[in-house]
Amino acid sequence: MEERQARGFTSINKSKAQGAGCKAQGSGHKVQGARRGEGDKIMDNSEVVARLAAKVEELEQKVQVLEDIEAIKKLQRAYGYYLDKMMWDELVDCFAEDGSLELAQRGVYIGKKNIRRLMDLMPDSQNGIQYGLLMNHMNLQGIVTIDPGGKTAKGRWRMFGQVGKWKEKAFWAEGTYENTYVKEEGIWKAKSMHVYTTFMTPFDKGWGKEYENFIPKPDPSCPPDLPPTEVFGDYPDVYIPPFHYVHPVTGKPVDTRIKEKTK
């Protein structure tokens, strides 16, 4: 008797469950083609698709910015390696046709041909490093900012150098790059490079005891296209090249002039 009642109770509950499922399915048919959004607002499929498309576009733009930053970092690092080994032709090819290079106080050299002439002014210069020469040129602490539109960008780098000639001389060198870049036919190139030298000091004495007044002036044998855009002194004088980017926390420009003190 109890067993028959239990079977009957189970059968009744199963019927109720099936009925509830049918109602749920019916309810589902009524809202088919809609989704719930913010505040339980019902959105139709076209609105859902539009939102998803906008999100995909936003993510694609972010990915593109990241890919552009990586491409510029690769360009700048390659430039440093070519300079290491005095590979002037490969170095010049890092620039746009109308690119420019400003090295300390030498002035501005515009165009790949003139940048190549500037390279010939480097100490012990030839196209390709030779036995006994050291020209390590490390590009560190890179900060790259892609401009709106994604076709131009800016970058700041610290240069740290080891320069030497076997049994003759050895120097430490340091400076800052503030550069601009341009994207041409999908390829990033250097539009302008501005090298602010900080110091050059003998390896055995160091910057605490002796420094080399390394800031070069315009060379009459290879005159620049334009005079220097900024005049500054090297170590122990202090000069902070302007930052192209705003403060990452405050979002405000940083005034470097208030920190300059020359004794």
CATH number, residue 223? 3.10.450.50
Domain membership of residue 70 (yes or no) is: no
The domain containing residue 180 runs over which residues? Answer: 78-259
Q: What is the pLDDT of residue 121?
A: 83
Does residue 32 form part of some domain? no
Residues 6+ apart with CB under 8 A from 241: 156, 176, 178, 194, 196, 230, 256
Number of domains present in the structure of the chain: 1
Whether residue 143 is contained in a domain is answered as yes
Tokens, residue 203: 């390896």
Question: What integer pLDDT is reported at residue 11 of this predicted model?
Answer: 45
Query: Tokens representing 48?
Result: 């859902």
Q: What confidence tens digit (pLDDT) does each residue in 22-65 have? A: 444 444 444 444 455 555 566 788 888 999 999 999 999 999 99
pLDDT given at position 216: 73
- pLDDT for 258: 60
Q: What's the pLDDT score for residue 15? A: 46
What was the pLDDT predicted at 204? 87
Buried residues in 189-226 as b, exposed as e (16+ CB within 10 A): bbbbbbbbbbbbbeeeeebeeebbebbeeeeeeeebee
Examine residue 42 and state whether it is found in any structural domain, yes or no. Answer: no
pLDDT in tens, the chain (263 residues): 444 444 444 444 444 444 444 444 444 444 444 455 555 566 788 888 999 999 999 999 999 999 999 999 999 999 999 999 999 999 999 999 999 999 988 999 999 999 999 998 876 667 888 899 999 999 999 999 999 999 999 999 999 999 999 999 899 999 999 999 999 999 999 999 999 998 888 888 888 887 766 667 788 888 999 999 998 888 888 899 999 999 999 999 999 886 545 55
Let me know if residue 193 belongs to a domain. Answer: yes
CB under 8 Å to 67, separation ≥6 — which residues? none
* Residue 15 belongs to a domain: no
Query: Is residue 6, in this structure, part of any structural domain at all?
Result: no
Closest by Cα among 248, 231, 153 to 193: 153
Dist CA 32 CA 27 (whole Å): 9
Query: Do 163 and 150 contact (CB within 8 A), yes or no?
Result: no
